[in-house]
Amino acid sequence: MRVFAPGRVNLIGDHTDYAGGLVLPIAIQLGTTIEGTRGGDRVELTSVDADEQFSRLVDAVVAESGATTGFVGSVTSTLPIGAGLSSSASVEVAIALAIDARGDIAAACQRAEQRATGVPCGRMDQLASVHGRAGHALLIDCSTYSIRHVAVPSDVDIVVVHSGEPRALSSSAYAERRAQLEAGDTRRVRHVRTENERVVAFADALESNDVARAGELMLESHASLRDDYEVSTATLDELVESLCATAGVHGARLTGAGFGGCVVALTEPGALDVGWKVTASSGAHVLGD
Ligand code: GLA
């Protein structure tokens, strides 16, 4: 059998999920495919990218999701690793599907990610991979994990551009930001409060086809992640600035955890000839036997 689980790009609402806030990701067409045979009681997965981290992830998903069957097969991915497009969440969700995990798969995969990497991540990436819908973004309220699908206007491109900067120190800095927020640090708290407002406004802008307003909100979000949450870098800032200076670009911002990685831009169709054009895609599914 074959299963597929997508990666995600977050359009707006970063560093809010673990604070019970709002996020607005899309599942994308790139992701992880697992091909093999169910049965027995062993889970054995090979991958060309297999390293220690990969085996830890496999073990953690098996432990957290309550596998109902063994599985022997191979894992392939079309996602660039370490770019911030949730390659690990996509692997976790694909494994959970392959081993026929029951119950709340996104929650189990979030626990698996925390267990395998030690990073106190939120649940956005796993929810996007499980619940994506073609043509839609997911407005997720992380205080209840309720999801509303919001249509993405058809006359825009969503383009992801890698800064060329690896996401250095992201795990320790991520944990540090989360601790600062929980300790009530004024600027960290202000980011979460204003970012939640921007997510609501952005969803409204998408629904009323106001792409110019959506673009402005992306820039405001980037500024808040840069100044209040301090997860941007000079390279990400310059990339956002140069993309926004390009004709036909409505807005751009860093996406995901920050500290390097990718920028997401909302543009008129065909405005950019760099990066990956991503489309809002459906969530994880079985592709066939
Ligand atoms: C990473 C985490 C997510 C989320 C983002 C920032 O992708 O895995 O849970 O916190 O960073 O929005």
- Name which residue sits closest to atom 8 of ligand 1, judged by CA: 121
Read off φ and ψ for residue 230, nearest 5 degrees. 55, 55
Ligand 1, residues at Cβ distance < 6 Å: 10, 14-15, 17-18, 121-122, 124-125, 256-257
Taking the centre of ligand 1 as the mean of its atom positions, its distance from the CA of residue 124, in whole angstroms, is 7
Rounded distance, CA 132 to CA 85, Å? Answer: 14
| DSSP single-letter state for residue 19 | G
User: Per-residue pLDDT for 169 more than 80?
Assistant: no
Cα–Cα distances (Å) from 77 to 47, 113, 151, 183, 268, in that order, read 9, 17, 27, 38, 29
User: What was the pLDDT predicted at 81?
Assistant: 75
In the predicted model, what is the mean pLDDT of residues 36-41?
95
Taking the centre of ligand 1 as the mean of its atom positions, its distance from the CA of residue 122, in whole angstroms, is 6
- Name which residue sits closest to atom 11 of ligand 1, judged by CA: 257
Q: Which atom of ligand 1 is nearest to the CA of 257?
A: 11
User: Per-residue pLDDT for 9 more than 70?
Assistant: yes
- Name which residue sits closest to atom 12 of ligand 1, judged by CA: 14
Taking the centre of ligand 1 as the mean of its atom positions, its distance from the CA of residue 90, in whole angstroms, is 13
User: What was the pLDDT predicted at 289?
Assistant: 72
Tokens matching residue 78: 């079309």
Per the residue annotation, which of 14, 17, 125, 228 is the catalytic one? 125
Taking the centre of ligand 1 as the mean of its atom positions, its distance from the CA of residue 14, in whole angstroms, is 7
Rounded distance, CA 26 to CA 111, Å? Answer: 21
103-161 tens-digit pLDDT: 999 999 999 999 999 999 999 999 999 999 999 999 999 999 999 999 999 999 999 99
Q: Which of 64-68, 72-76, 135-139, 233-237 has the lowest mean pLDDT?
A: 64-68
Rounded distance, CA 158 to CA 17, Å? Answer: 22
Q: Which atom of ligand 1 is nearest to the CA of 89?
A: 8
In the predicted model, what is the mean pLDDT of residues 177-181?
98
Please answer whether residues 254 and 10 qualify as being in contact, where contact means their C-beta atoms are separated by less than 8 angstroms: no
Question: 237-265 as b/e, with b when 16 or more CB fall inside 10 Å?
Answer: bebbeebbeeeebbbbbbbbbbbbbbbbb
Taking the centre of ligand 1 as the mean of its atom positions, its distance from the CA of residue 16, in whole angstroms, is 8
Cα–Cα distances (Å) from 39 to 53, 92, 143, 262, 289, in that order, read 25, 19, 37, 39, 13
In the predicted model, what is the mean pLDDT of residues 80-91?
87
245-286 tens-digit pLDDT: 999 999 999 999 999 999 999 999 999 999 999 999 999 999
Tokens matching residue 90: 């996509």
Q: Which atom of ligand 1 is nearest to the CA of 13?
A: 12
In the predicted model, what is the mean pLDDT of residues 41-45?
94
In the predicted model, what is the mean pLDDT of residues 80-97?
91
Rounded distance, CA 45 to CA 43, Å? Answer: 7
Q: 168 pLDDT band (50/70/90 cuts)?
A: low
Task: Compute the mean pLDDT over every residue in the chain, rounded to the nearest whole number.
Answer: 95
Catalytic site residue 125?
yes
In the predicted model, what is the mean pLDDT of residues 32-52?
92
Q: 48 pLDDT band (50/70/90 cuts)?
A: confident
Q: Which of 163, 136, 5 is nearest to 78 (CA)?
A: 5
User: What was the pLDDT predicted at 219?
Assistant: 98
Pocket test for ligand 1, best of 10, 14, 129 (most atoms within 8 A of CB): 14
Sign of CA dihedral 180, 185, 188, 194: positive
Q: 80 pLDDT band (50/70/90 cuts)?
A: confident
Radius of gyration of the chain (CA): 18
Q: 288 pLDDT band (50/70/90 cuts)?
A: confident
- Name which residue sits closest to atom 9 of ligand 1, judged by CA: 122
Q: pLDDT exceeding 70 applies to what percent of the chain?
A: 99
Rounded distance, CA 228 to CA 184, Å? Answer: 13
Q: Which of 140, 119, 112, 115 is nearest to 128 (CA)?
A: 140
180-230 tens-digit pLDDT: 999 999 999 999 999 999 999 999 999 999 999 999 999 999 999 999 999
User: What was the pLDDT predicted at 184?
Assistant: 98
Q: Which of 222, 220, 217, 268 is nearest to 247 (CA)?
A: 268
Please answer whether residues 31 and 2 qualify as being in contact, where contact means their C-beta atoms are separated by less than 8 angstroms: no
SS3 of 67-98: the string is CCCCEEEEEEECCCCCCCCCHHHHHHHHHHHH
Question: 100-122 as b/e, with b when 16 or more CB fall inside 10 Å?
Answer: bbeebbbbbbbbbbeebbeeebb
Beta-carbon contacts of 187 under 8 Å, excluding residues fewer than 6 positions away, are 227, 228, 229, 230
